[in-house]
Chain A
Amino acid sequence: MNARPGGLHDSATTAAFDAPRWRRDFPIMKQRVHGKPLVYLDNAATSQKPQAVIDAVSDYYQHYNSNVHRGVHQLSELATAAYEGAREKLRQFINAASKQEIIFVRGTTEAINLVAQSYGRSHLQSGDEIILSEMEHHSNIVPWQLLREQTGVTLKVIPINDAGELQPGAYETLFSARTRLVSLAHVSNALGSVNPVKEMISLAHQHNVPLLLDGAQAVPHMPVDVRDLDCDFYAFSSHKMFGPTGIGVLYAKEQILIDMPPYQGGGEMIRTVRFNGSTWNELPHKFEAGTPDIAAAIGLGAAVDYLETIGMPSIRDYERGLLEYGTQQLQSLAGVKIVGTARHKAGVLSFVMDGVHPHDIGTIVDQQGVAIRTGHHCAMPVMEHFHIPATARASLAFYNTREDINALVQALDKVREVFR
């Protein structure tokens, strides 16, 4: 299944993907909301979980719950094998060079904070510069502001245009002799824009600057190969990729991790502890202080297996077709305007409606069983750019269908009716 990049999508490819079949793997889809069948279009906030993930979590608690890396007893060995097995699955999934480069964290937010506090505080000084973009999630803004308070670094921001794309050419001009890091969304959660990250990474490397990608909205929707991208850091969350909450991954190149001090201190991350000083455990454990969310890591491993059964290229192609359909449907509604019309987009439909506040849209469509998100989507600078307080946002996953889009459109008719 080779989709023409960025081009129109033929329906034959879309038809070949059996979304209703995959949807049946998600028990929550049988829920009714306000007496109506659930239409779940809030996947950018969090995704639903297939039975395989739910089973993996409960299997751990029922049959081999135990701490990892601590015991010689059988359960601990089983738990350790499953936990480390999940790490290996994630390594393969994003094609990292080694398991040492896969650090389990709580999610994207913690991954970025880890880099800011460990890498940032040890490598950056007052006057050094970090490049971000105007479309970042707050979790890729605020950790750098905290670092700014601690070290006096300067933040530079790549502006966006009215389509919600990074302004062409602006990025290059932000580099200076003091640039030390670029930190950027792979895919924007508020706009759906897919950034040209490969070229941006290569440009950063020409300036000898490492680059962090916030992949929270990319990993669930497209193949990601960190070695092909050649990014230095990559952060993502399990709960947005059909895995449990409470776990996520920081990928970083091994040499960079070796040069970084620990983020938190405690058990697991040490080799020896004496009161006059301690030594650190090897990677990746140096960055995993304390008992991790073992069940969630195992569940995330199951989510990776599940996604690989379907195939990330198929998911990407199917969602591209669905996004195109949804875009056409929303554009055909009078008074509806899509916010975020980048040429390269993932399955996010942010929109506003003439004369109706997004919050009212959210409440009314919810009464029809349609779950969308309304608000600023943790991207206040994006809202400011478009001079709007909020948007309504429908965000897709591979288990969504054209019927879901149709249900949204019908629910929006109801919104019109109320505010007629």
Chain B
Amino acid sequence: MDLKDLYQDVVVDHNRSPRNFRKITDATSVQEGFNPLCGDKLTVYLKLDGDRISDVSFEGSGCAISVASASLMTETLKGKSVAQAEQLFEMMHTLLTVEDPKRDMESMGKLAVLSGVREYPSRVKCATLCWHTLNNALKNPDSRPVSTE
């Protein structure tokens, strides 16, 4: 296993300059995610316009994997429907936990760069924290922190 598979250039870049790293003041849902094991803490802001994600952003601190994953997630989700977001959540989950050579990587777009995390079981939670937080935001708009421990 090469470290480069985990820390791909895209990951290092998104960690250094995370996209959509800001508050959304008129968000329709705000959720906090916390991983007590490593102290990663994220807030995901979601703005729904009917069934469309018109804006999504995050703030917080964490390791390179969790920050890059959150950054890539917000980039990917903007403009998507709720159903598409839920589908991506599922796809991301299996990407990070199930080896599948026949997987359609094309449909995952940039998110595919995180597939290397699968080889590092102790780090999978870092990459999924933002997605669990988002899922929480989609499912129940009243704030309750989610934990991935």
Contacts and interface: CB of A to CB of B under 8 A. Distances in A.
A389 B39 contact: yes
Contact of A367 (B3, B41, B126): B3
B6 A390 contact: no
A360 B65 contact: yes
A359 B38 contact: yes
A383 B37 CA distance: 13
Interface in A330-366: 355-360, 363-364
Interface in B56-87: 61-65
A383 B39 CA distance: 10
A275 interface: no
Interface string A355-389: 11111100110010000001110000001000001
Contacts of B126: 359
A354 to B, nearest CB: 12
Contact of B38 (A34, A355, A374): A374
Given A34-B1, A359-B126, A418 B39 contact: no
B37 A363 contact: no
A383 to B, nearest CB: 7
B12 interface: yes
A25 B45 CA distance: 55
Nearest to B64: A360
A254 B47 CA distance: 65
A418 B8 CA distance: 9
A355 B63 CA distance: 10
B30 to A, nearest CB: 21
B1 A357 contact: no
Contact of A389 (B12, B41, B123): B41
A414 B4 CA distance: 11
B40 interface: yes
A364 B123 CA distance: 12
A359 B63 contact: yes
B38 A389 contact: yes
A356 B61 CA distance: 11
Interface in A398-420: 414, 418-419
A389 B3 contact: no
B120 A389 contact: no
Contacts of A389: 38-41, 61-62
Interface in A24-39: 34
B21 interface: no
B66 to A, nearest CB: 8
Interface in B1-57: 1, 3, 6-7, 12, 15-16, 37-41
15 contacts: A357-B62, A360-B64, A363-B120, A363-B123, A364-B7, A367-B3, A374-B38, A376-B38, A383-B39, A389-B62, A390-B38, A390-B39, A414-B3, A419-B15, A419-B16
